[in-house]
Structure 1
Amino acid sequence: MNIEKARFNMIEQQIRPWDVLDLDVLGLLSIVKRENFVPAEYRDLAFADLELPLPGGRKMLFPRVEARVLQELAVKKHENVLVIGAGSGYLTALIAHRALHVTAVEIDPAIAKFAADNLRENAVTNAEVVLGDGSLGWPDKAPYDVICVAGGLPVVPQQMLEQLKIGGRLSAFVGGRPVMKAQVITRIDEKQYRVADVFETYVDHLVNAMEPSRFKF
């Protein structure tokens, strides 16, 4: 397989048509080598329009979804970012190239190790993988400039929103089958948030994602 040709085709045929036009984002997709973050047995499919399997039945996001989220969050060099669901470490690596520091929380020990190994082997030094349950966020290092939820949520927990700085952004896939909304939520002030529906897709829910009926008002 001609890897660079496959990477070029992924960008031009999958990602650009999905309204990913930010040249910095498109450039990062050439710099951060996706093939280095997928399980070895799926390396030849690294650039396919697929949710590639991860250990424990989990899946990577589609390349076009990763790129669109990266574009919509518009992470800046001075910002601290929380990623919930480290996965393969690829989305964390993309974000780290634009951020000051990234904390990626992962509940599955095997996946956490896979992500941490991938980040280390690809010399991503401003990101760390923390083993834990991020379904309500990760208050240890809050507040964050940006929170990226790399899995589905029936609703976004208030506890998670409160871990954003004023002016901070959170991206999440919200809802359930058959279609979920990819949302970017911006914290306006202590009590107000602005919600933008960006696109529709479906991704598996986070482990322990809270159902609406469990919330207390």
Structure 2
Amino acid sequence: MTDLAERKMRFLYALRSKGVTDSRVLTVMEKIDRGDFVRGIFTDRAYEDMPLPIACGQTISQPSVVGLMTQALHVSPRDKVLEVGTGSGYQAAILSLLARRVYTIDRHRRLVREAEKVFAALDLTNITALAGDGSHGLPDQAPFDRIIVTAAAEDPPGPLLAQLREGGIMVLPVGQSDTVQSLIKVTRTPQGYEYEELRPVRFVPLVEGLAQD
């Protein structure tokens, strides 16, 4: 077995050991190579279960957290998904193999441009990447079946809750500091919103406005 194949096998084992058990999620995480989304000196660490720095002071999330968030979303093939926080594009690429359509938005234009290049290279044609203020969501495309937020807010943003269709699910980190955050699953019901706390996490903060880059 080659070193790369062995590292990929260990990568999948690490996902399972951290609680990523959904076979559809594991299959797409095997298909989407995290190495395509990691640059420079960190490329040889692409298959380790750890967050890594990317451009604009952001990070590519720990694979097991990506897997757990994806699993909690319960994405079906007909779903339209909104991702707030494109980052490297890794999460959006995984979602694109599970959903009908993925809209991903980031406040850093550079990250959006770089992610679009990777999507094109991988022939992922059902992703629309946009530069903008993700805290406002995408009202023009609402409602969404699923919403995922990859940056932490103090509370689930009102505009995003409003853009979730009835029966829809949103998964996001919530916390007042970068040390105490919880991954929350929100389900919109006819009566309102149901909240489920999944696990402690650490994400970069959700920042309003478009970055100057």
TM range (shorter): over 0.9
How much does 1:40 deviate? 3.8
Q: Tell me what 1:111 maps to.
A: 111
> Which residue of the partner structure matches residue 84 of structure 1?
84
1: CA distance, partners of 2:25 / 2:155: 28
Following the alignment from structure 1 to structure 2, what is the Cα–Cα distance between the partners of residues 181 and 136?
Answer: 21
Displacement after TM superposition at 1:24 (Å): 1.4
The share of aligned pairs that are identical, in percent, is: 28
Quote the Cα distance in structure 2 between the aligned partners of 1:47 and 1:112.
Answer: 23
Asked if the contact 1:82–1:102 (Cα under 8 Å) also holds between the matched residues in 2, the reply is yes
Partner of 2:204: 204
Deviations 1:97-136 (A, max 9, x none): 0100000001101111111111111111111101111112
Asked if the contact 2:135/2:159 (under 8 Å) is kept, the reply is no
Give the 5 Å matches for 1:54-133: 54-133=54-133
Write out per-residue CA displacement over residues 182-215 of structure 1, whole angstroms, 9 at most, x where no aligned residue. Answer: 01100002x5001111111111112229xxxxxx
- Determine the structure 1 residue equivalent to 2:8: 7
Q: Deviations over 1:26-71 (max 9, x none)?
A: 1111111111111143211101122111111111111110011111
The AA in structure 1 aligned to 2:46 is: A
Q: For the aligned residues, what is the CA RMSD?
A: 1.4
The answer for the alignment partner of 1:215 in structure 2 is: none
- Compute the displacement of 1:158 (Å): 1.6
Distance 1:152 1:141 in 2: 23
Determine the structure 2 residue equivalent to 1:53: 53
Worse-matched range after superposition: 27-36 or 40-49: 40-49
Cα deviations across residues 145-175 of structure 1 (Å, max 9, x unaligned)? 0001011111112221010110000010001
- Counterparts of 1:56 and 1:158 in 2: how far apart (Å)? 26
1:101 and 1:40 map into 2 onto residues whose CA distance is 30
Count of residue pairs the alignment pairs up? 207
How much does 1:25 deviate? Answer: 1.1
Q: Check conservation: 1:176, 1:202, Cα contact below 8 A.
A: no
Where does structure 1 differ by over 3 angstroms across 4 or more consecutive aligned residues? Answer: none
Paired residue type of 1:137:
G
- 1:148 correspondence with 2:148: yes
Q: Which residue of 1 aligns with 2:186?
A: 185
User: How many Å apart are 1:179 and its aligned residue?
Assistant: 2.1
Instruction: Say whether the 8 Å CA contact 1:25–1:67 is kept in structure 2.
Output: yes
* TM-score using structure 1 length: 0.91
- Supply the distance in 1 between the matched residues of 2:114 and 2:5 (Cα, whole angstroms): 24
Unaligned ranges ≥5, structure 2: none
More displaced 10-residue stretch of structure 1: 82-91 or 200-209: 200-209
Matched, 1:25 2:14: no
Gaps of 5+ in 1: 210-217
